[in-house]
Amino acid sequence: MKIEKIMLIKTGKRYGRIAFGQAMGILYLVSTLRTRYPGKYQFQIFRQALYEDSINYLRKRFQKFDPEMVGFSTVTMEAKQMEQIARMVKKEKPNCITVLGGPHASFFYKQALETGVIDYVVIGEGEETFPELLETLERDEPVDKVKGIAFIRDGEVILTEPRPFIKDLDSIPFPAWDLVEFKKYAREPSMNGYSHSRPWSMLITTRGCPFKCAYCHNIFGKKVRKRSVENVIEEIELLVNRYGIKELHIIDDIFNMDLPRAKQICDEIVNRRIKVKIAFPNGLRADMMDRELIQKLKKAGCYSMTYAIETASPRIQKLIHKNLNLEKAKQVIEWTYQEGIIPQAFIMLGFPTETTEEIEATIRYALNSKLIRCWFFTVVIYPGAELYKIAQESYPEVEFSNYNYDWFDFWYWSKNSFYTQFTGINLSKIQRRAYRRFYLRPRAILRIIWWFPKNITFLWAIWWGIRATLPGIEKLEDFWVALKNRFKTRLENRLELK
């Protein structure tokens, strides 16, 4: 079959508590295809949360572009939206090929294929798998030998041989930054929740994580693969000099895994006089940080660092195999504070077998630290992760195989968390109280006012905090959004009738 036009969609509507960034997986995919097949394909990318997210708006874009293939990048809480768009695609053009990638694909490929609107699922990294799948389909050959995919044949889900991870990350071309509307992203809350300077861009310098945390995915493997310092600096200079980027959001799993390399990147930024601000919205490994790296990051332009603490319970740390040195982590948070960088942390509440006393100890850990900002998430239990097995063993009375998942329960603020379902304890209430206890302290309020960048994103961060601490505000906003969307849909339908 002939494929000329490819539409790539990063699913996910705009939610009050969820910020977002550039669709990195899609951008890497486009740049890879451009490099391998110069001028062969036309691309259109669509970041659902960034534009009008109604299905009618997307339908019009689909009809105008008329692609032969549509690819989706989806996380699990967006699965319903992905399925809705895929159904629209199949209704408009039944022979259009639909391909799913992203975290949801790796965990739930079977459920995605059983919807009947996804033809192929790419599992894990897509830079080698997707081009090979394209070539195979264009030659009208069987796809069985394409490693790292799943599909349905004769009513049965076929999972092909796993594809090895890409060893040389320098061989992957830089993301297709020319397709990104940086000014439009600059008007939206970033993954960091706020920014010092705009426009900002995400940056990935490594893939993989050697640790075996029971709650985590394994999309990029357990061996850390690193881009060379020269390759990273080249991309930073491209972003700053060509695209006018003023801030980088580094989203590696563990940027500080290799301390000498991390320090060298900082030194190069300083030596080349690259003027850029840096934030780490993804979790750094706190007990692997040293003060010298914090100081070098400060000199390179870093103003915000997030540490993945998760729990202050030694028992739970051992249960989930994170084994974080909690005392060292608290010391690193204090160093970060002393060096003038905003220290932030991720906290997870509601692990299997976790007691309310252990949850309280974790909240107190955050309260007694130098943290200026903290996220209190509810634990999400993904099938395929080891935490799922731990939950099965901890709650044998629950029939997991028959559990009817609501994909939105895989949200970190789900009001129907798995912990609540298993124990009957209202985790959402505990979570809201934790936010109030953390942010409504006079000391915390003064620190935020003093430390946070003073721009429009500061107001976004304040609004986010208000929503987290006062649930009534969230309900009012949800009502307003629903009313606005309903009015917009009716208006679009009337225009279509005319």
Q: What is the CATH number of domain 181-476?
A: 3.80.30.20
Give residue limits of the domains in the chain: 5-159, 181-476
Average pLDDT over residues 240-252: 97
Task: Quote the Cα angle for 13-18-22, to 5°.
Answer: 75
φ and ψ of 380, to 5 deg: -110, 130
**Average confidence (pLDDT) over 120-149:** 97
Rounded percentage of the chain residues whose pLDDT exceeds 90: 73
Q: What is the pLDDT of residues 6-50, one digit of tens each?
A: 999 999 876 656 678 899 999 999 999 999 999 999 999 999 888
The CATH class of 5-159 is alpha beta
Q: Is the pLDDT of residue 262 over 90?
A: yes
User: Residue 368: is it exposed, middle or buried by C-beta count within 10 angstroms (0-12/13-18/19+)?
Assistant: exposed
Confidence of residue 482 (pLDDT cuts 50, 70, 90): low
pLDDT in the model for residue 202: 97
Q: Is 460's pLDDT higher than 80?
A: no
Q: What residues have CB less than 8 Å from 468, skipping those under 6 apart?
A: 17, 432, 435, 439
pLDDT category at 416 given cuts 50, 70, 90 is confident
The per-residue pLDDT of the chain, averaged, comes to: 90
What is the pLDDT confidence band of residue 498, given thresholds at 50, 70 and 90?
A: very low
Do 38 and 173 touch, CB atoms closer than 8 A? no
pLDDT band at 52 (very low <50, low <70, confident <90, very high): low
Nearest Cα residue to 305 out of 277, 326, 275, 265: 277
| Torsion region of 319: left, alpha or beta (phi above 0 gives left; psi -120 to 50 gives alpha) | alpha
